[in-house]
Amino acid sequence: MNRTVSKVICLLLLCSQMANATELDKQLVLDAKHFLTAYLNYTNTRNIDLLKLYSDDATIKVTVITLDRATKVTDFSGQAWKRLLRESWYSGQPAVEPVELHNVSIQDNKTNLEVSAQRYSQTRCYWDNNYKVTFAKNETGKYQITNETLYIDHKNQCQIPDTMTINQNIKINQIQQP
């Protein structure tokens, strides 16, 4: 496992500013951390096991800004999304890129966990400020993504960094129920 992924996992698991434990159930917070850790680990290492985190019935909305700056919005079913990712993996062109999540917020809606965050692409250096992912337990009791909203910008916006150190600091803010 590379150093960045290790940092991400450690910070997710050790984040002490995670929650006022009285607001969200501690087990729910741990479940969210573990799920997001697996998601980031699979994404950042371009591991095909990422596909098992998606429900076949999921809804994935992807907004893509092409190189010529056109905007294209596409909705995928979980099955279609997994098929697209699988095809890209086997063609040698993984469709996922290493990312960081910042300003993570989580809301428990009794049947699922809704997460919103700012998602940063480490490969092309752009921000997805409206990233959202919802996950819920399936019939076997494992969490799977049921809904995801992504923004992808194909234009590389990276500048040569001063250092190669990536600081990953994830803090989950709770959304209080009315």
Percentage of residues in the chain having pLDDT higher than 70:
78
User: Taking a C-beta distance cutoff of 8 angstroms, is the pair 101, 15 a contact?
Assistant: no
Beta bridge partners of 63: 73, 151
- What is the per-residue pLDDT across 68-117, written as a single tens digit (0 to 9) for each? 999 999 999 999 999 999 998 888 776 788 999 999 999 888 889 999 99
Q: Check pLDDT > 70 for residue 167.
A: no
> Has residue 168 got a pLDDT over 80?
no
pTM summary value: 0.76
Q: Give the type of residue at 57.
A: D
Domains of the chain by residue range: 3-174
Longest Cα–Cα distance in the chain? 49
Region for residue 116 given its phi and psi (left: phi exceeds 0; alpha: psi -120 to 50; beta: otherwise): beta
Alpha carbon distance 174, 166 (integer Å) = 25
CA distance linking residue 124 with residue 140, whole number of Å = 37
From residue 153, alpha-carbon distances to 42, 117, 123, 173 in Å are 21, 17, 11, 26
Instruction: Using alpha carbons, list the distances in angstroms from residue 156 to 69, 122, 164.
Output: 12, 10, 17
CATH class name, domain 3-174: alpha beta
Q: What count of Cα atoms within 13 Å lies in the side-chain half-sphere of residue 85?
A: 21
